[in-house]
Structure 1
Amino acid sequence: MDYKDIMQKSIDYIEENLKSELSANEISQAAGFSLFHYYRLFQNEVGIPVMQYVLKRKLCNAIYDISLGNMMIEVALSYGFDTHSGFFKAFKREYDCSPTEYLKKHKVVKPYRINLKQKENIMITEKKIKEKLKNWNLKEPIDIKSVYYESNGNKSDTSWIINNDFIIKIGTNISRLKQHISVSKALADAGFEVAIPILTKDKKEYVLEEDLYFCLTNRIEGEVIKSIEIYEGEYESKAKSIGEAIGKLHLVLQEKDNEVICNDQNLYETVSEWAIPRIKQKMNLNYKFYEDYKENFKKIYPQLIKHVIHRDPNPNNIIVKDGKLRGFIDFELSERNVRIFDPCYAATAILSESFDINNINRLNKWLLIFKNIIKGYDKVCKLSIEEKKAIPYVVYSIQMIFMAYLSDIDKFQELSEINHEMFKWLVSKNDDMEI
Structure 2
Amino acid sequence: MVREMIQKTLDYVDSNIKEDITAEELAEIAGYSVFHFYRLFQSAVGIPVMQYVLRRKLLYAIYEIGQGRKKNDVVYEYGFETYSGFYRAFIREIGYTPAQYLREYKAKRPYKINIFQEEHIMVSNKLISEVLVNWGLQDAKVSDIVFPETGEISDCAKYVGSNMVIKYTANLGSVKKANQISKALNSVGLTAPSVIPTIDGKEYVTVGELYFTLTRKVEGERVMASGLYLDDYKEKARFIGEIVGQLDLALAKIDTIAEEADLGKCVREWAVPALKGKIDMNPEAMEKYAAQFCDLYRDLPRQVIHRDPNPSNIILAKDKWGFIDFELSEENARIFDPCYAATAILSETFEEGNEDKLLTWVGVMKEIMYGYDSVVKLTDAEKKAVPYMILANQFVSTAFFAGKDKYEELYWINKAMTEWIGRNIEKLCM
Shorter-chain TM band = over 0.9
**Aligned residue pairs: how many?**
430
Aligned residue in 2 for 1:38: 37
Query: Secondary structure, in 3 states, of the residue corresponding to 2:295?
Result: helix
Superposed counterparts of 1:179-194, under 5 Å: 179-194=177-192
Superposed counterparts of 1:263-342, under 5 Å: 263-322=259-318, 324-342=319-337
The Cα of 1:389 is off from its aligned counterpart by 0.7
Superposed counterparts of 1:107-186, under 5 Å: 107-138=106-137, 141-186=139-184
For residues 97 and 295 of structure 1, what CA distance do their matches in structure 2 show?
Answer: 50
Superposed counterparts of 1:77-116, under 5 Å: 77-116=76-115
What TM-score results when the alignment is normalised by the length of structure 1?
Answer: 0.94
C-alpha change, 1:8 and 1:295, in structure 2 (3 Å) is closer
Q: Which amino acid aligns with 2:313?
A: N
Q: Which amino acid aligns with 2:425?
A: N
For residues 294 and 28 of structure 1, what CA distance do their matches in structure 2 show?
Answer: 49
The Cα of 1:165 is off from its aligned counterpart by 2.5
- Give yes or no for contact 2:93–2:125 (8 Å, CA) kept in 1: no
For residues 295 and 358 of structure 2, what CA distance do their matches in structure 1 show?
Answer: 30
Q: What CA deviation, in whole Å up to 9, does each residue of 1:319-376 have, x standing for no partner?
A: 1112x54211111111110000000000000000000023333222211110000000
* Larger displacement relative to structure 2 (122-131 or 24-33): 24-33
The Cα of 1:30 is off from its aligned counterpart by 2.2
The Cα of 1:405 is off from its aligned counterpart by 0.7
Aligned residue in 2 for 1:434: 429
The Cα of 1:137 is off from its aligned counterpart by 4.3
- Give yes or no for contact 1:186–1:260 (8 Å, CA) kept in 2: no
Aligned residue in 2 for 1:57: 56
Query: Secondary structure, in 3 states, of the residue corresponding to 2:166?
Result: strand
Aligned residue in 2 for 1:226: 224
Quick check: 1:355 aligned with 2:353?
A: no
Query: Secondary structure, in 3 states, of the residue corresponding to 2:167?
Result: strand
Q: Which amino acid aligns with 1:392?
A: P
For residues 199 and 83 of structure 2, what CA distance do their matches in structure 1 show?
Answer: 45
For residues 60 and 425 of structure 1, what CA distance do their matches in structure 2 show?
Answer: 34
Aligned residue in 2 for 1:4: 3
The Cα of 1:161 is off from its aligned counterpart by 1.8
Quick check: 1:392 aligned with 2:391?
A: no
The Cα of 1:4 is off from its aligned counterpart by 1.9
For residues 387 and 145 of structure 1, what CA distance do their matches in structure 2 show?
Answer: 42
For residues 192 and 101 of structure 1, what CA distance do their matches in structure 2 show?
Answer: 32
The Cα of 1:310 is off from its aligned counterpart by 0.4
* Larger displacement relative to structure 2 (152-161 or 206-215): 152-161
* Larger displacement relative to structure 2 (84-93 or 42-51): 84-93
Q: Which amino acid aligns with 1:34?
A: S
Q: Flag structure 1 segments of 5+ consecutive residues without an equivalent.
A: none
Query: Secondary structure, in 3 states, of the residue corresponding to 1:356?
Result: coil
Superposed counterparts of 1:238-277, under 5 Å: 238-256=236-254, 259-277=255-273
Q: Percent identity?
A: 43
For residues 159 and 11 of structure 1, what CA distance do their matches in structure 2 show?
Answer: 22
Aligned residue in 2 for 1:412: 407
- Give yes or no for contact 1:268–1:297 (8 Å, CA) kept in 2: yes
Quick check: 1:343 aligned with 2:341?
A: no
The Cα of 1:135 is off from its aligned counterpart by 1.0
* Larger displacement relative to structure 2 (345-354 or 23-32): 23-32
Aligned residue in 2 for 1:377: 372
Query: Secondary structure, in 3 states, of the residue corresponding to 1:307?
Result: strand
For residues 195 and 33 of structure 1, what CA distance do their matches in structure 2 show?
Answer: 44
